[in-house]
A and B are shown apart, each in its own frame.
Chain A
Amino acid sequence: MALPKYTEPHYRIWHYFYLFVCGCVFFFLIAPLFVIFPLSFNAEEFLVFTDGMKRLDPDAFSTRWYEDMVYGTKNPWGLAAKNSFIIAIFATIGSIILGTLAALGLSSRHMPYKGLIMAILISPMIVPLIISGVAIFFFMAKAGLAATHLGIILAHIILGTPFVVITVTATLSGFDHSITRAASSLGSNPFNTFMKITLPLILPGVISGGLFAFVTSFDEVVVVLFLAGLDNTTIPVQMWTGLREQLSPTILAVATCLIVLSILILLTAELLRRRSERLRGINR
Chain B
Amino acid sequence: MSSEQKILSTDGIPLEESLKQAEEKNKVKAFLLVTPLLLFLIITYIIPIADMFSRSIDDKMVTNMLPKTYKAMEQWDGKELPPEEVFEAFYLDYKILVENKTAGKLQTQLNYEKNGFKSVLKKLARKQKKFEEGNYKEQIMKVHKRWRNVDYWRAIKRRAPAYTYSKYLKGVDMYSNEEGKIVQVSEDRRIHRILWSRTLEVAFFVTLFCFLMAYPIAHLLATLPMKYSNLLMICVLLPFWTSLLVRTASWMILLQQQGLVNDFFVWIGLVADDNRPEMMYNKTGTYVAMTQILLPFMVLPLYSVMKTISPSLMRAGKSLGATPGVAFFKIYFPLTIPGIGAGCLLVFILAIGYYITPALVGGASGTLISNQIAYHMKSTLDWSFASAMGLMLLTGVLVIYWIYNKLVGVDNIKLG
Name A residues whose Cβ lies closer than 8 Å to a Cβ of B.
1, 11, 18-19, 21-22, 25-26, 28-30, 32-33, 35-36, 39, 47-49, 98-99, 101-102, 104-106, 108, 110-112, 117, 120-121, 123-124, 126-139, 154-155, 157-158, 161, 163, 165-167, 170, 208, 212, 215, 218-219, 221-222, 225-226, 236, 239-240, 243-244, 247, 251-252, 255, 258-259, 262-263, 265-266, 269-270, 273
Report the minimal beta-carbon distance from B27 to chain A, rounded to whole angstroms: 5
Name B residues whose Cβ lies closer than 8 Å to a Cβ of A.
23, 26-27, 29-38, 40-49, 51-52, 55, 213-214, 216-217, 220, 223-224, 232, 234-239, 241-254, 256, 258-260, 292, 295-296, 324, 349-350, 352-353, 355-356, 359-360, 370, 373-374, 377-378, 383, 386-387, 390-391, 393-394, 397, 401, 414-416
Q: A136-B44, A239-B245 are in contact. Are A22 and B34 (CB under 8 A)?
A: no
14 new A-B contacts at CB < 8 Å, known A1-B223, A112-B30, A158-B40: A32-B254, A47-B256, A106-B30, A121-B34, A127-B353, A130-B390, A135-B45, A138-B52, A163-B415, A208-B416, A219-B243, A219-B245, A243-B249, A259-B242
**How far, in whole Å, are A23 and B373 apart by their CA atoms in the complex?**
39
Contacts of A208 in B (CB 8 A): 416
Contacts of B394 in A (CB 8 A): 127-128, 131
Contacts of A129 in B (CB 8 A): 353, 355
Interface hub of B29, B223, B352 (most chain A Cβ within 10 A): B29
Contact between A29 and B292, CB atoms less than 8 A apart: yes
Report the minimal beta-carbon distance from B331 to chain A, rounded to whole angstroms: 17
Contacts of B213 in A (CB 8 A): 25, 28
- Among A128, A255, A266, the residue within 8 A (CB) of B238 is A266
Contact between B242 and A258, CB atoms less than 8 A apart: yes
Contact between A239 and B249, CB atoms less than 8 A apart: yes
Contact between A134 and B373, CB atoms less than 8 A apart: yes
Contact between B34 and A117, CB atoms less than 8 A apart: yes
Question: In this complex, what residue of A is CB-closest to B386?
Answer: A134
Contact between A33 and B37, CB atoms less than 8 A apart: no
Could you jot down 14 A-B contacts, CB within 8 Å? A28-B213, A32-B250, A33-B250, A47-B256, A121-B34, A127-B353, A128-B393, A130-B353, A131-B390, A134-B387, A158-B41, A165-B37, A208-B416, A222-B374
Contacts of A158 in B (CB 8 A): 40-41, 44-45
- Among B34, B43, B251, B295, the residue within 8 A (CB) of A29 is B295
